[in-house]
Structure 1
Amino acid sequence: MIQLTTSPNRGIGEILKIFGWLFVFITPLLIISGIIAFAFNFQPLYEYGFQRYEVSKTTGLTDSELSKAARGLINYFNSDQEFIDVTVQKDGNPFPLFNDREIQHLKDVKGLVRLDYQVLIFSLLGAAIVSAIAIYRKQIQLLATPMFVGGSTTLVGLMLIALVAATNFDAFFTKFHQLSFANDLWLLDPSRDYLIMLFPGGFWEDASIFIAALIGVFAAGVTYIGWKNLRAVHS
């Protein structure tokens, strides 16, 4: 039990420790949500997929029109627009890129993206508040262990998920959609639906590797910083 009345400094220290341990939960949320938000807004990732999987041949769209489609998707995810509306040129004629089923699915995807943004904002606020309190009290060393544990926990979780995904990515990707969406609108026809032509299965595997690599780098960095400060505290 914290005795704030009889030992205020000790009581505040205990409270700081509790707040500090929030980093164990904040760290994975902050890293993962931040990287996912970055990936959804990183147009070169989209264009990498277009080039690697020769999407221009599959869709009949020029590279400039594909870039326009990528920008349209990114703008949509960051707008208040309920439904996406992207018109491109094909063979000199304008046409709406996505059909009704794809539009409805993208609305669901946008919901997940906005949820990720919310997690990112709240985890950033949490990290900022805890850090500010520790800095103000000149007890930043209290964050060393939580950072180490949070970073290493993120790395372990990432490795477990990567192992499952590497075993059978198609099954992993299917299960992700089944858990993330309450409908089957994500089941698209690659012979007619442009959304799946723009982003074939191979793209999502590559994008997952890209995201996992960035998460791993940031998690390793946080773990190292926590470990380095732990050594400084105990030296």
Structure 2
Amino acid sequence: MTPDPSPARTLPERAAALGTALAAAIVVIAIAILPFLTPVWIGFEQSRTNAGGLTGYDEASLRTATSAILHDLVLGPPDFAVEIAGLPVLEERERAHMRDVRGVFAGFGLLALVAAVGLFALAAGARRMGHPERAWRAVTSGMRWLIVGIVVAGVIAAVAFDAVFELFHRLFFPGGSYTFDPRTDRLVQLFPFDFWSETTTVLGAVIVVIAAIVSVVAARRARRAIARSTSVVAADSAEAASAAAAGVEAAR
């Protein structure tokens, strides 16, 4: 009989597995977001959604305005006071919304950092307990559930992106602070609705790809950990049996 390297788990161990799965999912989402905060992606998507035509800016002015807003969003300070031809790009209400956006980003960044630390600690704990495969299995489960969640969200967004976009803003921003007129407000001219719908679609695809890769790698690591654990148990059993046989022989 092959010894079970992963016996029934206690409630704390199950909680640790759930925490590992959630932490892994958060870390993957955070990693997937990073490329979309770069000038390369934003410039590409602005060209697709005609941000230059909507704002009336030439290419250099568009890059200047966008780069300054992106800098204030990611690095700060959150002034969002860039000017083009001596005129502010964003009005105060738009700047206030961008400060709110930065607060949401900072909160998620902190959550991702905590998740990364927690993931490392939980994986180390599983290894110390002699069951590293549990951490890898939890990561695998987290990735699979993340893929399911993203696919479901993608289907919903495909048929009702307007409603999803509105719900997101209602959850994270004060009511009325995020409604702007695309005819006059630079913020929604620089980042029009199609910018967000396309970016969200590609982000979802990137999350699914990363999660699928991590799931495959984690599943393989889990199988290897189980194989090593089983080999160790079998070797210990064989050694014990050999010692017992030697003892019996000596007694004769």
Superposition TM-score tier, normalisation by shorter sequence: 0.7 to 0.9
Structure 1: gaps (5+ residues): 1-9
Query: 1:67 maps to which residue?
Result: 63
Selected match of 1:87 from 68, 83, 86: 83
Selected match of 1:23 from 20, 24, 34: 20
Distance 1:148 1:228 in 2: 10
Selected match of 1:175 from 148, 159, 167: 167
SS in 2 for 1:168: helix
Pick closer, same or farther for the CA change 1:19–1:193 going to 2, 3 Å: same
Q: Tell me, yes or no, if structure 1 residue 42 matches structure 2 residue 42.
A: no
Query: 1:3 maps to which residue?
Result: none
SS in 1 for 2:87: strand
Count of aligned pairs between the two proteins: 219
Give the TM-score normalised by the residue count of structure 2: 0.78
RMSD, aligned CA? 2.4
Write out aligned runs for 1:159-198 (5 A).
159-198=151-190
- Post-superposition CA distance 1:194-227 (Å, at most 9, x none): 0000111111011001211111111111221233
Distance 2:110 2:207 in 1: 18
Distance 2:79 2:132 in 1: 46
Query: 1:53 maps to which residue?
Result: 49
Distance 2:179 2:94 in 1: 9
Highest Rg: 1 or 2? 2
Query: 1:102 maps to which residue?
Result: 94
- 1:24 aligned partner, one-letter code: A
- 2:39 aligned partner, one-letter code: Q
Identity fraction in percent: 22
Give the TM-score normalised by the residue count of structure 1: 0.83
- 2:60 aligned partner, one-letter code: S
- 1:61 aligned partner, one-letter code: Y
SS in 1 for 2:86: strand
Query: 1:213 maps to which residue?
Result: 205
SS in 1 for 2:196: helix
Q: 2:24·2:116 contact (CA, 8 Å) conserved in 1? A: no
Q: Note the C-alpha offset of 1:139.
A: 4.0
